Homo-oligomer: A and B are copies of this chain.
Amino acid sequence: MKNKELQEKRMKDYFIQAAKGMLKGEGLKSLSVRSIADQAGYSFATMYNYFKDVNELVFHCVNDFQEECKVFTTDQAKKSPRGISKVKTLVLAYVNYFVEYPGIFELFYLERVANFGNKQTIINVISTSLDSICEDEWNYCISKKLVKAESVDLIKAQLRFTVLGMLLLYMNRRVPSSYAEFISQAEVQVDALLAPLRD
C-alpha cells in the first residue's frame, strides 16, 4: 500500500503537470477538463478518479507556482543591494512574474474557488504570497534597524494591496494601456510606500 500511494501521487502529478503547462502557456481560458486529460494522456473521466473536480486539480498548481515565483523574484533581485531597495526590486519582480504569466495571476486571484479539501491552506499561500517572498529581506531590514519592527506589518499590507490593485486593473482592464506606463506607475507607487523608510 506504499506502492498505491506512490502510484496515485504519480497519476495526480500527470494531470497537475499538464494543467501547469497550459496555465503558463495559453492561460485559464484554454484549460478544460478534456484538454488537461488529453495533455496528460488519459481520458477526461480518469481525472475524476483522482480529483474531486476540476477546481481541486487546478488549485493544486498553486504551491508549485508560488515556489517558482519565489525563485523568479529572488533571481531578479540577487544583484540588488540588500535593504529597502532589495524589497523594492522583489516587489517589482513579483509584478513582472504575473505580467509574464497572466494565467497564473488568474489562478491566484481571479478564479472562482469552489469548496474543496484543503482550501484554507491554498488560500493562505495565495494571500501571503508577496509577504513570504519579501519575508527574509524585511527581517534583514529590521535587524539592521533600517525599519522599525512594528511598522513592517503595515507596509507589507500596503504593498500587498497596492500591487494587487495595479495588477487587477492592468490585467483585466488594460489600464494603463501600455506595459511601459504600467511599470512606470508601479515604480511610482512602490516608491511612494517605501520612501518614508529611507532616511
Contacts and interface: CB of A to CB of B under 8 A. Distances in A.
A169 B175 contact: no
A-side binding surface: helix, strand, loop or mixed? helix
Contacts of A169: 109, 127, 160-161, 164
Contacts of A158: 162, 189, 192
A123 interface: yes
Given A127-B173, A161-B161, A110 B113 contact: no
Interface residues of A, number: 28
A163 interface: yes
A157 B158 CA distance: 13
Given A165-B168, A168-B165, A168-B168, A157 B189 contact: yes
Given A154-B188, A160-B169, A164-B165, 9 more contacts: A109-B169, A109-B172, A112-B172, A123-B174, A158-B162, A158-B192, A161-B189, A165-B165, A165-B168
